[in-house]
């Protein structure tokens, strides 16, 4: 059991992640003003294309004031380029998300079932397919989970359950407890994996109650974080990673290759090194899903392969992520 640690915690024990989430910046002009970039406000698109700016204040605090090319800012700031139509970029780049998620569970890969635990995220990333499916918390409705768990319970080939979304850590810990109680009745599931960006963008989420829940699970635990740039780490994020590992989780990271944000070898090398310093191993580097409004982030396959080649020369093998793309109908992520 994890009890209060003598190590001074960076976020005060009273810091309530839901409160911090509610206090996120949702006004692009306000964000620009905070960064002394108010003069750029007239370059914002007139409409946010149905996908509002949302960024926790702690994440915004890691952006460099006065830098319009800041790699964290560019991940969240609506751009005029989003309104451009681009060949091959569709609203439904990864299959019919809406109908796939309506079932609550995706079972495409052998041994692993992915549960759409929540549609909410603490941050809105401009490159994400979710920009066209900003659904709320309805996936976590108890009935939905019952159906998903029934499916998993009936198929003994499933040994790993993956919680994804949206972001499953946007759910209250009580909701996660409900889920794990259901899982306890399914002995063939021996591993729980959680795909989440919360420990990076709102590290206060990894609080004592969550840590206790994770530690109490009689399962192998994997947490796959999502950071795209070394600047996303600060001492509070390091602290969250320590807590995840204290709770017995293996910590991995997936990134998306993003033009102008992390598409150079120095940046990717620094990211791998920073992850390792936080006790996290790089797992996947994803080629962008071709969603409408994200074409300006795309990096060519040729360039992506060159970058990976550089990384292999510079880094030990365990710090080189696998470069992959998600292709509908494949039996795994497709390596490039």
Query: How far, in Å, are 104, 238, 247, 279, 283 from residue 276 at the CA level?
Result: 33, 11, 18, 5, 11
- Of these, 60, 93, 123, 202, which contacts ligand SF4 (CB under 6 A)? 123
71: partner contacted, choices ligand PLP, ligand SF4, none (Cβ within 5-8 A by kind): none
Q: Which of 53, 106 has the CB closer to ligand PLP?
A: 106
57: partner contacted, choices ligand SF4, ligand PLP, none (Cβ within 5-8 A by kind): none
Place of tokens 């702690």: 58
Phi-psi region of 19 (alpha: psi -120 to 50; beta: other; left: phi over 0): alpha
Which positions ≥6 away from 276 have C-beta within 8 Å?
A: 319
| Cα–Cα dist 281/65, whole Å | 29
197: partner contacted, choices ligand PLP, ligand SF4, none (Cβ within 5-8 A by kind): ligand SF4
Determine what percent of the chain falls in helix, strand and coil, rounding each to the nearest 5.
40, 15, 45
- Show the binding pattern over residues 160-199: x = contacts ligand PLP (CB under 6 A), - = does not: --x-------------------------------------
The answer to whether the CB of 192 falls within 8 A of the CB of 219 is yes
Place of tokens 């915690």: 9
CB of 142 to ligand SF4, least distance (A): 23
| Cα–Cα dist 139/281, whole Å | 29
148 binds ligand PLP (CB under 6 A): no
Q: At CA 333, angle to CA 329 and CA 335, rounded to 5?
A: 120
CB of 318 to ligand SF4, least distance (A): 24
Q: Which 64-123 residues touch ligand PLP, going by CB under 6 A?
A: 106, 108-109, 112, 114
CB of 269 to ligand SF4, least distance (A): 22
- Of these, 82, 160, 167, 269, which contacts ligand SF4 (CB under 6 A)? 167
User: In this structure, is the dihedral angle defined by the CA atoms of residues 9, 15, 21 and 24, taken in order, positive or negative?
Assistant: negative
CB of 34 to ligand SF4, least distance (A): 20
The answer to whether the CB of 255 falls within 8 A of the CB of 227 is yes
- State how far Cα 268 lies from the chain centre: 17
Provide the 3-class DSSP secondary structure of residue 184: coil
157: partner contacted, choices ligand SF4, ligand PLP, none (Cβ within 5-8 A by kind): none
Q: Which of 80, 327 has the CB closer to ligand PLP?
A: 327
Say what the alpha-carbon torsion angle 226, 231, 236, 237 is, to the nearest 10 degrees.
Answer: 20
CB of 134 to ligand SF4, least distance (A): 9
* Positions of E strands within 220-260: 220-226, 249-256
204 binds ligand SF4 (CB under 6 A): no
Place of tokens 């994804």: 164
- Of these, 128, 139, 158, 251, which contacts ligand SF4 (CB under 6 A)? 128
57 binds ligand PLP (CB under 6 A): no
Q: Which of 296, 315 has the CB closer to ligand SF4?
A: 296
332: partner contacted, choices ligand SF4, ligand PLP, none (Cβ within 5-8 A by kind): ligand PLP
Q: Which stretch binds ligand SF4 (CB under 6 A): 41-49, 124-132, 209-217, 316-324?
A: 124-132
- Of these, 226, 229, 243, 286, which contacts ligand SF4 (CB under 6 A)? 226
| Chain residues in the site for ligand SF4 (CB under 6 A) | 121, 123-125, 128, 130, 166-167, 197, 226
| Chain residues in the site for ligand PLP (CB under 6 A) | 106, 108-109, 112, 114, 162, 332-333
């Amino acid at each position: 059991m994890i009890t209060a640690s003598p190590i001074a915690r960076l976020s005060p024990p009273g810091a309530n992640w839901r409160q911090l989430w509610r206090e996120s910046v949702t006004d692009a002009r306000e964000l620009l003003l905070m960064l002394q970039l108010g003069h750029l406000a007239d370059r914002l698109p007139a409409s946010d294309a149905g996908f509002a700016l949302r960024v926790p204040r702690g994440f915004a605090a890691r952006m460099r004031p006065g830098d319009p090319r800041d790699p964290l800012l560019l991940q969240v700031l609506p751009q005029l380029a989003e309104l451009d139509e681009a060949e091959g970029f569709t609203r439904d780049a990864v299959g019919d998300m809406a109908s796939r998620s309506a079932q609550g569970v995706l079972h495409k890969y052998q041994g692993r079932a992915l549960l759409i635990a929540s549609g909410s995220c603490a941050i809105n990333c401009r490159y994400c397919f979710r920009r066209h499916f900003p659904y709320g918390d309805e996936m976590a409705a108890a009935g939905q989970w019952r159906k998903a768990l029934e499916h998993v319970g009936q198929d003994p080939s499933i040994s790993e359950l993956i919680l994804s979304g949206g972001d499953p850590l946007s759910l209250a810990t009580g909701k996660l407890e409900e889920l794990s109680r259901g899982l306890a009745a399914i002995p063939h599931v021996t591993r729980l994996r959680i795909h989440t960006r919360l420990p990076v963008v709102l590290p206060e989420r990894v609080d004592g109650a969550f840590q206790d829940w994770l530690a109490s699970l009689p399962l192998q635990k994997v947490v796959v974080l999502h950071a795209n740039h070394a600047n996303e780490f600060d001492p509070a994020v390091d602290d969250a990673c320590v807590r995840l590992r204290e709770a017995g989780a293996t910590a991995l990271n997936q990134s998306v290759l993003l033009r102008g944000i992390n598409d150079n070898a120095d940046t990717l090398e620094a990211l791998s090194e920073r992850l390792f310093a936080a006790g996290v191993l790089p797992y996947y580097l994803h080629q962008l899903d071709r969603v409408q409004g994200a074409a300006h982030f795309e990096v060519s396959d040729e360039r992506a392969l060159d970058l990976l080649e550089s990384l292999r020369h510079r880094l030990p093998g365990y710090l080189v992520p696998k470069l992959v793309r998600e292709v509908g109908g494949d039996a795994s992520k497709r390596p490039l």
